[in-house]
């Protein structure tokens, strides 16, 4: 296992992603993951809400750094707010991440099936990982280049007592059938190890790829996914959040996106 540190970062006004990443490079730091925060898909209900949601903080970045890398004091001056969690990740998964992720972000033409049409009526809210009218309106309002672009979902998980094995059944069904059919692929999974995050109650993280937000929405609006969601996932979770992100290069540009076609 390799210990990684996960950071959500809000930059001070006027600090560009290019400048921020440039400072990290000057200190020899190359994140495993560097991504722009796009949208909360599911909000935490009580765990870490004081820090994650207070003061209407706008999270700009998600970083995964290996334990040996820390954010230098000089770089921290450009940070308005920060939230972190440590997690143990398998060395094999971590070493394969760059090549696996490159293939997912640059799929072979024709290899990704188009998103399925929603099978279920929109729900009132997306908090139970269902599709709400508000989520569908947001997806529909995105420029096509962003609506069709690969995304990753950061999941933080806290379990009800004795329900971890139940959640594992959800994970097995997601990987084997209901998630993979919609292009969902778990890229990083790990046990929370940092003291603060553990004291808050978080237990696991999962970083999951989807070919687009349309694929994510189609999955959540499918009958077979909701059967598994209600059978295994919802009852197992004490709390969770899902944050949608898009991975970026060192200049802050969304990877594999034509800069002339879409902006967040």
Structural domains counted in the chain: 1
| pLDDT tens, residue by residue, 181-225 | 999 999 999 999 866 666 679 999 999 999 999 999 999 999 999
Give 101: exposed, middle or buried? Use CB within 10 Å, 0-12, 13-18, 19+. buried
- Residue 122 pLDDT more than 70? yes
**Reported pTM:** 0.95
- Would residue 143 count as lying in a domain? yes
pLDDT value of position 260: 46
232 lies in some domain: yes
In a domain, 219, yes or no: yes
In a domain, 260, yes or no: no
State the residue range of the domain holding 242.
2-247
- pLDDT tens sequence across 65-83: 998 899 999 999 999 999 9
**Mean confidence (pLDDT) of the chain:** 94
Which residues on neighbouring strands pair with residue 87, listed in sequence order?
Answer: 4, 192
Q: Is residue 252 part of a domain?
A: no
Residue 85 has pLDDT above 60, yes or no: yes
Rounded CA separation 207/190 (Å) = 9
CATH code assigned at 62: 3.30.70.100
pLDDT at 113: 95
Task: Give residue 152's pLDDT.
Answer: 98
In a domain, 257, yes or no: no
**Tell me: the pLDDT tens digits for 105-116?**
999 999 999 999
């Amino acid at each position: 296992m390799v210990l990684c540190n996960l950071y959500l970062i809000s930059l001070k006004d006027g600090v560009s992603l290019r400048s921020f990443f440039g400072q990290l490079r000057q200190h020899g730091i190359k994140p495993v993951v560097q991504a722009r925060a796009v949208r909360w898909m599911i909000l935490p209900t009580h765990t870490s809400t004081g820090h994650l949601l207070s003061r209407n903080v706008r999270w700009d970045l998600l970083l995964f750094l290996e334990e040996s890398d820390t954010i230098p004091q000089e770089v921290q001056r450009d940070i308005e707010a920060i939230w972190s969690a440590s997690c143990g990740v398998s060395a094999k998964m971590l070493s394969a991440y760059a090549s696996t992720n490159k293939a997912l972000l640059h799929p072979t033409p024709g290899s990704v099936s188009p998103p399925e049409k929603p099978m279920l009526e929109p729900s009132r809210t997306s908090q139970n990982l269902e599709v709400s009218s508000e989520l569908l309106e947001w997806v529909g309002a995105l420029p096509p280049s962003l609506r069709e672009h690969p995304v990753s979902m950061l999941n933080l998980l806290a379990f009800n007592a004795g329900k971890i094995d139940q959640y594992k059944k959800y994970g097995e069904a997601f990987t084997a059938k209901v998630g993979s059919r919609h292009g969902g692929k778990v890229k990083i999974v790990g046990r929370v190890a940092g003291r603060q995050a553990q004291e808050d109650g978080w237990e696991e993280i999962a970083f999951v790829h989807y070919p687009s937000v349309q694929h994510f929405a189609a999955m959540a609006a499918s009958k077979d996914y909701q059967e598994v969601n209600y059978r295994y996932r919802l009852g197992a979770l004490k709390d969770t959040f899902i944050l949608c992100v898009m991975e970026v290069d060192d200049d802050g540009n969304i990877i594999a996106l034509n800069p002339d076609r879409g902006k967040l």
